[in-house]
Amino acid sequence: MTNPDQQNVETSTVGRVRPAVAALASYRPGKGAKQAEAEHGITNAIKLASNENPYEPVPAVVEALRTAATGVNRYADHRATELRSRIGSWLGVATERITVGCGSVGLLQQLCLAYLDPGDEVVYPWPSFEAYPIMVKLMGAVPVTVDLVDHAFDLDAVAAAVTDKTKIVMLATPNNPTGTALSTEQIAAFLDQIPPEVLVLVDEAYREFVDPTFGDPVADLGDRYPNVVVSRTFSKAYGLAGLRVGYVVADPAVVAELDKVLLAFAVNGMAQAGALAALDALDEIQPKVDLVLAERSRVVAALADAGWPTPDAQANFVYVPLGDRTDDIAVGLEKLGVVIRPFSGVGMRVTIGSPEENDRFLAAFHEVAES
Ligand SMILES: *Cc1c(COP(=O)(O)O)cnc(C)c1O
């Protein structure tokens, strides 16, 4: 799998940029539908490349955003007091254990800012979320990666990679891009092997898509292991990716440090209002999540029938190990107007879209992969 920060390294000629920043690649977001249309001279392309929710926010959320828009001449509540307490009561967790950030990626950055000095080590399985190496290297800290086994985490190997230099372990469950999840029993057994001064980030960006039998890290682990930091987001299941709001559940001492490094007003007033309205509209949002889950089963079954088994898919995407054929298949799909996320030479990640979009993907995949 290519690591984006090993490519496109640009040299700065103005100013004395930090070496850690100079060594990073410029961020390249996933290709959009419009860009694919322009490149291939096609129309009607669809984007199944960024794990977004295919459905627009429910009307009550849109209405709340409209109302909040009239207040943007003012700074919002920096601490997002109402949203924190609402999340706390929703989860049955004390408000001091909750903080909010500019997406869960914002909180990831806060965690790195608050806890990493140059030379500190951060352990995470790889391939995993592509923001991890970027945030770690930005601090001058050192990523220590542990290979996946059968597209899933080998937690004993992760525990073995922890040294006295390790400050943080990052576990995305479900993992992006492979979609496999950890049970809370597995996480607890891992935590029992880890020194309590090492923070363990449990990144649950896709929690709402996970089979409930995997357990709930907040309910099952939070009180027993003060070093666990659970991050979640309104971006995926709640369909608010563009608003940028995520939250963390952690020990109050960790929350206090994260709060010190929150960029002023990073969670803006519309983001706070949209998240609050989403929490009021969970009964309208859940059916959309259920539809994505039903579609995920359908896509997984169709791929398996066609001879392409996938690792256990617990998020709103499927990972298809295509090996050497990945790059050709990705280009073929794109020419047919279906933009997915290829990982060169290993596999592709395909977001579950609307039923029509998934039909488009499956038809295109059959055409390209079986030719
Ligand atoms: C999408 C994703 C995020 C979330 O991003 P936001 O900043 O909350 O939009 C976090 N972690 C993983 C593993 C993801 O795939």
d(CA 346, CA 250): 35
Q: Span 19-56+283-369: which CATH code? A: 3.90.1150.10
> Across-strand partners of 180?
none
Q: What is the pTM of this model?
A: 0.95
In this predicted structure, the answer to whether residue 2 has a pLDDT above a threshold of 60 is no
Q: Is the CB of 129 under 6 A from ligand 1?
A: yes
d(CA 51, CA 233): 13
**What are 245-285's pLDDT values in tens digits?**
999 999 999 999 999 999 999 999 999 999 999 999 999 99
Q: Is the CB of 235 under 6 A from ligand 1?
A: yes
Could you check whether 19-56+283-369 and 59-281 share the same CATH topology?
no
**What are 88-116's pLDDT values in tens digits?**
999 999 999 999 999 999 999 999 999 99
**Structural domain boundaries in the chain:** 19-56+283-369, 59-281
Q: Which tokens belong to 218?
A: 């907040």
Per-residue pLDDT band for 10 (boundaries 50, 70, 90) equals low
Q: Which atom of ligand 1 is nearest to the CA of 175?
A: 13
- Nearest 5 degrees, angle CA 176-CA 178-CA 192? 75
Using the mean position of ligand 1's atoms as its centre, give its distance from the Cα of residue 16 in Å: 31
DSSP 3-state of 370:
coil
Q: Is residue 201 within 8 Å of 254, Cβ to Cβ?
A: no
Q: Span 59-281: which CATH code? A: 3.40.640.10
Using the mean position of ligand 1's atoms as its centre, give its distance from the Cα of residue 198 in Å: 22
